[in-house]
Structure 1
Amino acid sequence: MNETGRYAHRRGIHCESACQCAVLAAGGYDVDEEIVFGLDGGFGFSFFPANGNAPDIVVGKQAIMPLRAARLMGVEVATHTPKSGDGLAKLLASAPAVMTRVDLGLLPYWGLEGRTSFGGYFVNVVRPLGADAFEVSDPAFDAPVTVSAGELQAARSSRNSPPLNPDWKVYVFGAPRRTPQLDRVGPVAVRTLCREILKPGSRNLGIPGMKLLATTAASWPQSKHGEVEDVDLTGRVVRTDALARQLLHLGRQIESFGTGGGLFRPMIGRYLTRVADSTGETRYADAASQFLDSGRLWSNLGSALLTAGTATARDDLKTLVDAVADTARSAMDVEKRALTALTTL
């Protein structure tokens, strides 16, 4: 089916939502990315400390591929785990594209050389190119890219990013059968979002996760030590301090890894604005403004961490560690106020 040309590559902000939008568009249904993002209900905060001096993981979401938006649109989504290029090609014989979970650090065109890992990334695999390569549609780039079958296999099978390993998962979407009414389903998604961020049931998630980041970051100068290999912002492999790697990795997680900047906060702000417009309820707009404020806090931190790169002296890195803790606390306060106000709706 991919040979019909129905799939069209498009840039996006959030890899998971943008890939879904592109596949849905191939099925004849155009939907804005922030709507899919908001209805899916994966937004939030996750913090996963790593062992030793490996970088701790921060994600601006709490669920990967919850598929709530797809269910609201009546889209049947089949999950597969093909462990070979041939298996992937067979799925593409009857689908315009296959949404594929990968380790971003092992996608060759990102230039990270596997030294930074994030196994919660998504691309759409569009078609095989002979027996040894695939055309890949990555919403972070202007055009599709060619990835060898071996490289794609490595990115799909990576075990470098626990607990966010890709686990070979791919998704095949059916055609949408209905259009969600945002004034009806939008508030339901917001209530779910509030519940799962304010009281997530895990200290690694939501508001408790932000608090854990703030307290854990203070220990990074002790736990993240020694010389390690990393990739700088130009794609060069460098030797650097483990603390510098942690801070650069966090900067990428905030600004670069398919978040659209600000750890998804501006994106959820746009979704809340759309809900406010559809319902006429101004309190959604108030919360949207607060999440935009939080997004600016996260973006300011992310930009500072990326600017510092891998070449900053260790004493200066400790100042950035303080900024991480301060930002986490400040953003936590802003977001908690916004979410608490929304629980009354």
Structure 2
Amino acid sequence: MNDTGRYAHRRGIHCESACQRAVLAAGGYDVDEEIVFGLDGGFGFSFFPANGAAPDIVVGKQTIMPLRAARLMGVEVAAHTPKSADGLAELLAAAPAVLTRVDLGLLPYWNLEGRTSFGGYFVNVVRPLGTDAFEVSDPAFDDLVRVSAAELQAARSSRNSPPLNPDWKVYVLGMPRRTPQLERVGPVAVRTLCREVLKPGSRNLGIPGMRLLATTAASWPQTKHGEVEDVDLSGRVVRTDALARQLLHLGRQIESFGTGGGLFRPMIGRYLTRVADSTGEARYAEAADRFHDSGRLWSNLGSALLGAGAAPARDDLKTLVDAVADTARSAMDVEKRALTALTTL
């Protein structure tokens, strides 16, 4: 039977690591979110150009739900793809919560009306409310929220954000069999991070992905044109310029969509600081400082994009496009220096 009394909703920073942390806490194992995030090894950069006027996708990670932290803690994870509300409810009968992948744009309480999509988002589904709704724990919000079964099904089955569609995926986490020793496993995760961000094997990921964003953004005034529907920051459906939608969407990806601000850079900085403290190696702390610097670059850009207003002039939009390209190049240089220095450890 699902002992819902064991699960306590808590606000977090990053959807995946915050949701994992809350489930682990329900079993009596409390771990800081930045440790889960750092050990998971998904940090990085992803850039996926979209067709036509649709917004290009930027993510401050390279892997969705890698579950490396779970393996390091000896946590058994069962992956499922229940395609019905009944199937999801059956899993909840034996778990404090089910970690569930969704399209953020179709979660009704985000007030995005499906105009913005991100299929790499996660929430914890805590319990069914009768037969037609579920109680959902979203770490971006202060309290549990009620979502109808139909709305949750739509968010779980969305095909609106390829290649990041949810594909019905859910995860049931067991309890840790061991406590990871950060001074031993932390550096291993850092080496993986360096390898995958510096030389990811794809032009869409890591340092190559940041370079691709810088060059692609310059073409947005030509490719993102015409009038489109979007949702403004107050949740109202509006008609707007496709370029304005692209820039607002990027601002949300940097600051609003579960990154904690700065596209996860301050979060990985805190993880590196913890590794420095546990190992006594100052170069982790130096790299942490550089990621905090990069986080400020991204946050300054994100704030400018979110503060552009409802109907900025086209010339103002082009100025923001220049800022996107400049920030991507500057942040890339800072992060490349930090990661290159870490490869010598």
TM-score range, shorter chain: over 0.9
Shift of 1:310: 3.4
Name the SS of the counterpart of 1:309 in structure 2: coil
Distance 1:184 1:3 in 2: 34
- Kindly indicate whether the alpha-carbon contact (under 8 Å) linking 1:46 and 1:206 is maintained by their aligned counterparts in 2: yes
Residue 317 of structure 1 is matched in structure 2 by 317
Shift of 1:28: 1.2
Residue segments in structure 1 that go unaligned for 5+ positions in a row? none
CA 1:119–1:309: 2 relative to 1, 3 Å: farther
Distance 2:96 2:306 in 1: 37
CA 1:280–1:241: 2 relative to 1, 3 Å: same
Distance 2:317 2:2 in 1: 49
Name the SS of the counterpart of 1:262 in structure 2: coil
Name the SS of the counterpart of 1:152 in structure 2: helix
- Kindly indicate whether the alpha-carbon contact (under 8 Å) linking 1:244 and 1:309 is maintained by their aligned counterparts in 2: no
- Kindly indicate whether the alpha-carbon contact (under 8 Å) linking 2:3 and 2:95 is maintained by their aligned counterparts in 1: no
Shift of 1:4: 4.5
- Kindly indicate whether the alpha-carbon contact (under 8 Å) linking 2:35 and 2:271 is maintained by their aligned counterparts in 1: yes
Q: How far does the alpha carbon of each residue in 1:183-205 deviate from its partner, in whole angstroms, 9 at most, with x for none?
A: 00000000000000000000000
- Kindly indicate whether the alpha-carbon contact (under 8 Å) linking 1:101 and 1:156 is maintained by their aligned counterparts in 2: yes
Q: How far does the alpha carbon of each residue in 1:249-293 deviate from its partner, in whole angstroms, 9 at most, with x for none?
A: 000000000000000000000000000000000000000000000
Q: How far does the alpha carbon of each residue in 1:47-92 deviate from its partner, in whole angstroms, 9 at most, with x for none?
A: 0000000000000000011000000000000000000000000000
Q: Which ranges of 4 or more aligned residues in structure 1 deviate by more than 2 Å?
A: 1-4
Shift of 1:137: 0.2
- Kindly indicate whether the alpha-carbon contact (under 8 Å) linking 1:226 and 1:241 is maintained by their aligned counterparts in 2: yes
CA 1:133–1:315: 2 relative to 1, 3 Å: same
- Kindly indicate whether the alpha-carbon contact (under 8 Å) linking 1:47 and 1:58 is maintained by their aligned counterparts in 2: yes
Distance 1:330 1:304 in 2: 16
Distance 2:101 2:278 in 1: 33
Distance 1:246 1:4 in 2: 40
Name the SS of the counterpart of 2:6 in structure 1: coil
Distance 1:312 1:99 in 2: 39
Q: How far does the alpha carbon of each residue in 1:235-258 deviate from its partner, in whole angstroms, 9 at most, with x for none?
A: 000000000000000000000000
- Kindly indicate whether the alpha-carbon contact (under 8 Å) linking 1:241 and 1:310 is maintained by their aligned counterparts in 2: no
Give the aligned length. Answer: 345
Shift of 1:311: 1.4
- Kindly indicate whether the alpha-carbon contact (under 8 Å) linking 2:221 and 2:243 is maintained by their aligned counterparts in 1: yes
Shift of 1:105: 0.2
Residue 280 of structure 2 is matched in structure 1 by 280
- Kindly indicate whether the alpha-carbon contact (under 8 Å) linking 1:248 and 1:309 is maintained by their aligned counterparts in 2: no
- Kindly indicate whether the alpha-carbon contact (under 8 Å) linking 1:104 and 1:110 is maintained by their aligned counterparts in 2: yes
Q: How far does the alpha carbon of each residue in 1:282-333 deviate from its partner, in whole angstroms, 9 at most, with x for none?
A: 0000000000000000000000000014311111100000000000000000
- Kindly indicate whether the alpha-carbon contact (under 8 Å) linking 1:248 and 1:310 is maintained by their aligned counterparts in 2: no
Residue 52 of structure 1 is matched in structure 2 by 52
Residue 255 of structure 1 is matched in structure 2 by 255
Distance 1:4 1:119 in 2: 27
- Kindly indicate whether the alpha-carbon contact (under 8 Å) linking 2:81 and 2:169 is maintained by their aligned counterparts in 1: yes
- Kindly indicate whether the alpha-carbon contact (under 8 Å) linking 1:233 and 1:309 is maintained by their aligned counterparts in 2: no
Distance 2:21 2:165 in 1: 23
- Kindly indicate whether the alpha-carbon contact (under 8 Å) linking 1:105 and 1:114 is maintained by their aligned counterparts in 2: yes
Name the SS of the counterpart of 1:8 in structure 2: coil
- Kindly indicate whether the alpha-carbon contact (under 8 Å) linking 2:4 and 2:127 is maintained by their aligned counterparts in 1: no
Distance 1:64 1:236 in 2: 30
CA 1:162–1:4: 2 relative to 1, 3 Å: closer
Residue segments in structure 2 that go unaligned for 5+ positions in a row? none
159-168 vs 310-319, greater mean Cα deviation: 310-319
- Kindly indicate whether the alpha-carbon contact (under 8 Å) linking 1:232 and 1:309 is maintained by their aligned counterparts in 2: no
Name the SS of the counterpart of 1:263 in structure 2: coil
Name the SS of the counterpart of 1:212 in structure 2: helix
CA 1:294–1:288: 2 relative to 1, 3 Å: same
CA 1:4–1:230: 2 relative to 1, 3 Å: closer
Distance 1:307 1:2 in 2: 44
Residue 221 of structure 1 is matched in structure 2 by 221
Distance 2:30 2:176 in 1: 10
Residue 204 of structure 1 is matched in structure 2 by 204
**What TM-score does the superposition give when structure 1 sets the normalisation length?**
0.99
Q: How far does the alpha carbon of each residue in 1:20-64 deviate from its partner, in whole angstroms, 9 at most, with x for none?
A: 000001111100000000000000000000000000000000001
- Kindly indicate whether the alpha-carbon contact (under 8 Å) linking 1:102 and 1:123 is maintained by their aligned counterparts in 2: yes
Distance 1:244 1:236 in 2: 15
Distance 1:276 1:312 in 2: 44
- Kindly indicate whether the alpha-carbon contact (under 8 Å) linking 2:115 and 2:229 is maintained by their aligned counterparts in 1: yes
Aligned pairs for 1:1-345 (under 5 A) are: 1-345=1-345
**What TM-score does the superposition give when structure 2 sets the normalisation length?**
0.99
- Kindly indicate whether the alpha-carbon contact (under 8 Å) linking 1:7 and 1:96 is maintained by their aligned counterparts in 2: yes
